[in-house]
Amino acid sequence: MLTKITDGEGTMEMLDEMEELCNEIKDTALCGLGQTAPNPILSTLRYFRDEYEAHILEKRCPAHVCKNLLTYSINPTKCRACSICARNCPAEAITGKPGKEVYKIDSTKCIKCGLCLSNCRFGAVERH
Ligand code: SF4
Ligand code: SF4
């Protein structure tokens, strides 16, 4: 269920199911390890429920961690058309003309590796 949520395929019902399952494990496990194993889920559901809901309802990862929910774009006002991002993109998802035309990302080709973000020295690549 967690994987589905991080992939943007979660439902609000899953939150209740996870909570129920965790409480069941907590109450019925015979050893201390089993009784505490569900704690990470229970405590994040309690204190960060809004983040779970953002993944499910808005298909958005507020911490910018869940790869399948991220999108990358280039801010045309910051791009200096240096071409470094395009030359290092493993998916050939970035196009533009060196020194002449600002670069753009084709989101249908992008595999969300994040290399453009780390390679751009001008802060033009944005992750949403
Ligand atoms: S690396 Fe940055 S400045 Fe250079 S072309 Fe790409 S987005 Fe533009
Ligand atoms: S995130 Fe990776 S695949 Fe997507 S445009 Fe940037 S370098 Fe290319």
Asked whether 89 lines ligand 1 (CB < 6 A), one says: no
Tokens of 50: 């809004």
What pLDDT shows up at residue 34?
93
Mean pLDDT value across residues 25-48:
96
What pLDDT shows up at residue 22?
97
Please provide the CATH number assigned to the domain covering 71-127: 3.30.70.20
pTM, two decimal places:
0.77
Mean pLDDT value across residues 44-57:
97
Q: How far is the CA of 61 from the centre of ligand 1 (A)?
A: 25
**Other beta carbons within 10 Å of 29:** 14
Asked whether 94 lines ligand 2 (CB < 6 A), one says: yes
Tokens of 36: 């505490």
The full set of domain ranges for the chain reads: 2-67, 71-127
Mean pLDDT value across residues 46-58:
97
What pLDDT shows up at residue 113?
94
What pLDDT shows up at residue 66?
94
Scanning the chain, the segments in alpha helix (DSSP H) are 2-6, 12-28, 32-36, 39-47, 49-57, 84-88, 115-119
Q: Please check whether residue 5 is in contact with residue 14, taking contact to mean a CB–CB distance below 8 angstroms.
A: yes
What is the CATH T-level fold of the domain 2-67, as seen in this structure?
A: de novo design (two linked rop proteins) (1.20.1440)
